[in-house]
Amino acid sequence: MSVIITGASKGLGKAIAEQFAAAGNHLLLCSRNEVVLNKTKQEFEEKYKDCTINVMAIDISKKENAIAFGNFCLQNGTPDVLVNNAGSFLPGSIHAEKDGVFEAMMQTNLNSAYHLTRTVLSKMIDAKSGHIFNMCSIASLAAYKNGGSYSISKFALLGFSKNLREELKPFNIKVTAIIPGAVYTDSWSNTDVKPERIMEVNDVANMIYAASLLSPQACVEEIIMRPQLGDL
């Protein structure tokens, strides 16, 4: 399979990429940090001899960059799987957060997925196959303290996923919204939260990979995952 994954050099994105690399797929990866991205590519190619990997270091929160990465991916054929994973988190309250936080959250968490998906979708529609995964959040389901514009952007991403799901049914293209609670990544390393209290990146990666293997007539529309003890 040809698999596109954004924000793929570390954390959840890297874990998802490794699942597909281990199965010998062709990966098309992007992230902003060129050094870390190339290191991830080298690591996977050495570890998983049957996979092939193309990478582009780019900030896809910018419309023109999302389109450029999409066209880069299309040069390598029609995608079978698209994982819109790129995202960022800036905490705050709507009434008090700094000017520009709203735009930053929407551009990174929603616009990147919107423009990349639109760029590659025509080829998937022509092929009448494919699977799109959008990395939403528990913050897509309910407001919470200090969520601010991050939560707004994740609500919007879930709405984007629901609309895509309806639109793409006639073309046999699946759409799955991934809705995880807290997952232990580097962003938690400087906090007092213990790794065993929240989920592992592979918990989410395993679910995405499993959903991608279902028969053509089955679609998991939403995957809601929380730590066993519940949200923090």
Residues annotated catalytic, as ranges: 150
Backbone angles phi, psi at 176, to 5 degrees: -125, 130
| Owner of token pair 């709507």 | 94
Q: With the C-alpha atoms ordered 135, 138, 141, 145, is the resulting torsion angle positive or negative?
A: negative
Residue type present at position 96: A
Report d(CA 143, CA 148) in Å as an integer: 8
Residue 196 vs residues 11, 223, 229: alpha-carbon distances, Å: 16, 21, 10
Report the candidate in 188, 191, 211, 192 with the shortest Cα–Cα distance to residue 201. 188
Q: Which two tokens stand for residue 87?
A: 């995202």
- First-last CA distance in the chain: 37
Q: Report the greatest alpha carbon distance in the chain.
A: 51
Strand order through the sheet with 26-31: 52-57, 26-31, 2-6, 81-84, 131-135, 174-180, 222-225
